[in-house]
Structure 1
Amino acid sequence: RTYDFTLQASDGELVSNVDVSVSVQDVQNRSPEFQGSRTGVVHEDASIGTLVMTVKAVDGDVGNPRDVLYELIENPHEFFLVERLSGELRTARPLDREALKAGDGVVRLMVQATEINDDGSLTTDPDSSTQTMITVTIRDVNDEPPSFNRREYRTSVPENVPDGTPLAQLDMVVQDTDVGSNAMFSLSLVDSSGKFSVEPATASGSTSVSLRVARGPLDYENPNEQKFILLVVAQETMTEEKLSSTATVVVTVTDVNDNAPHFELDAYTASISEVADSGSVVATITATDRDQGALGTQGITYTLTGNGADKFSVDANSGVMTVVQCDTPGSGDCLDYETRKTYFLSLQASDNHGKEGESKSRVVPVRVTLEDANDNPPFFSRTLYTSAIEEKAPDFDPPLIVKAIDPDDVSVIMYSLVAGDPLHLFKIEPRTGRITLTNTTAGLDISDLPSDTITLTVEASDGLGSSTTDVRISVRDANNHSPRFEKS
């Protein structure tokens, strides 16, 4: 730069002027200076190498200005590059507006301009470089579908929950990182069962998603309702492309104790011998429960109640009824058909191992009938029977019948003459106990008898036990002989 001026000299009276020209030679003491706009705009779908803007810087020394080289000092996500000589800022990779932390789409770059020597080398003088911040706004394009925070979700819900119950611990979030109308989407549910619903129906940007039971009840005991696989669909609503994404939801229905044990029959009958040994099986009665695990068949326990239940026991797990230990089967305090023929009992089945307040129960009546056994001997109600018969009569009048009693219904009493008739004058009907003459035609002849009184012993036997009674028969003499003279 040149400075021109006039220099005047004076002695008070005379004056002399001279023109002076001073040229100031420039030295390198000023940093480069940036010029022009420092903002740029680029669309998100711009191809690699797209020119965004041109950065311009000049040497602050104007006498002999140096050329400058450009470089990016700060370049978030490495989206851009700058041509070192021209300052052209171009895209270096595919842009993703949604990858930026800030939602405004602005990328802030730090550009440094450094002077170069005549030989092309960079200057090392700290005053020969400078930096400036430039901003590039990435304009959104619809390149992002609404997306789920997971591809698959799993949750469980108890059966029989009321309609409107939300599925717990789903933690489902859908987000569309585009902006404006590009971020508006709808939510729908692909559910062949029709038992669930999704909300909200529409959203923008980001939303939490809830699934609810819509058309219950859910029934774990139905094999088709133990697990549901649902598909949630998020689809843009205001774009031409209608980009969408899906997520799978696996819903497991858990069992609750909503079913009581079930017996196959409404009532049960069984029979057992009165003299059955202890531990003898009376009956096996089991119930089923549609629930699972301890709440179902696996957790059923059995108890027996009723008048006389102490004569029996039931296995709590298997439902097997048996005869309890007793020292005198068929008599005393044991089972005894002659004392009591039938027991009316109640068998209760309780699930969940019978936990009080936490189980369901069902009771079924059980009728146990005792089978009679031949465990009692027959006995005569009378220890002595008496009768009379006319001499020469063909039969007793009235008929002579002995009767024994056997408490056992199964017993068959057989009668026999065991003593008192060495001449075999009488016979007895084995089944009826009727005593008749052996010779009904001739009858009895008292003259042939040692006495007019005959005592018979009758035995009654049921095959195992027996008893006897006496039958005293008086023979009345008849006038059946003519007088007879004795020789003198």
Structure 2
Amino acid sequence: MAAINHNQKSSKLLNCTQSRIFIIAFFLRMEMNFMFSDLSLAHLTFYLLISRYQLDGEVGNKFTIHPLTGEIVTAGRLDREEQSSYQLVVTVTDTGEITASATVFVTVTDINDNQPQFEIPSYLVTIPENAMAGTLVTVTRAVDLDEGLNAENYYSIESGDTSLFAIDHTSGTVTVSQNLSDQTGEFIIQVGVSSGPGSEVMYDLTTVHVTFQFTVQANYPSFSVSGRTQISLVENQPPGEIQIINANSPKVGTSGDITFHFAGGNEANFFSLNSQTGNLATQLTLDHEVQQSFHLWIEARDGDTPPLSSFIDIIIDVVDQNDNAPVFEEESYHSNVTEGGSSGQEVIQVTAVDLDSGSNSRIRYSLSTHADAFNIDIDSGTITTRREFDREMISRYELVVEAEDYGSPAQATSVVVTIDVDDVNDNPMYTTENFEGIVEENVAPEQ
């Protein structure tokens, strides 16, 4: 053991979706045999020139290690919503008091163990008796503590008059589905939200009480534009003003003072709205590849008691820029051709993808090398032969294939395709290296 350095250290980030991970730190080897999840046990087995094992770091009451075998097991239930990762330090000391250590980063993967919950158990809403189709009723919102697909909420109207109301399945926005005329009474609709894939769906319900208010329509705030507003913004632009939302009230004094508010669609806080001026702006950079559009609801509220409100919805389309180059599905490609084969034979197909949209995502393929020996289809990326091959002349070709998009300016990337020429028995084999013969002089040709 004298040849081993003291206090040797290593670290490893364990992606717990992997079923088997190895760490080698000089004379320390760690093997991860099982995958962590919220409810599963995990075993980390250490093999080394043995002595004593000790576990430190964010251990708490969640992990223990066997002092002789080095086996780490979970000692308590792991909950990603409480703590999503742990940093453990394993130290081993041999009989000569020489030590080595390894840092183990453990990530707890999510399971769908939390149901979505509405922020409000019931909604009380008042809308005009003559509300037009598309008028905002309310925005129901549920929160799910899980992540990824387990936290994607789907909203639906479970009961009530679905002929009068509609709901956006993604945002939970409830709107009037048809033009109303002197509508009276109270309507109750039940909204449900579900999350999680397949049979793992979790569920919650809320109630929306809608009362139709008799009032002179002219008393409501009115926007300078009516109906839905469509705005296009190019992605990757720095945050800044989009437009000014204008509304006014027929009321005088403070009762006619208008303030502006988000009524829905800005849960991720991509946008800001000045409550006094109506200045709508982006406060985060928009990325078309992350989200292609936003549906915002803006409320104009007067200063009366109780206040009257009007709503307008704005669709913001995020316009794609050619900010992604094509990416080949493989880091490199390899195939074979047989020497002596005819031209036009298919060799291999290469494929690249581009995360952009429209013409920015269309790809054309070309050969940068050996275009005299091979063709490539500009659209499909299929490589074919242009002639016969002789392995005894050239046994391997290194093709450089370029994938270029149709954006402006275009972006391109390349990949190497190795093509080996397989041998066929097209050369005679001689049994001796030297041959002797006798030819008489003055013999006529071809005799």
Please give the range of the TM-score, normalised by the shorter of the 2 chains: 0.3 to 0.5
Largest Rg, 1 or 2: 1
TM-score normalized by structure 2?
0.46
TM-score normalized by structure 1?
0.42
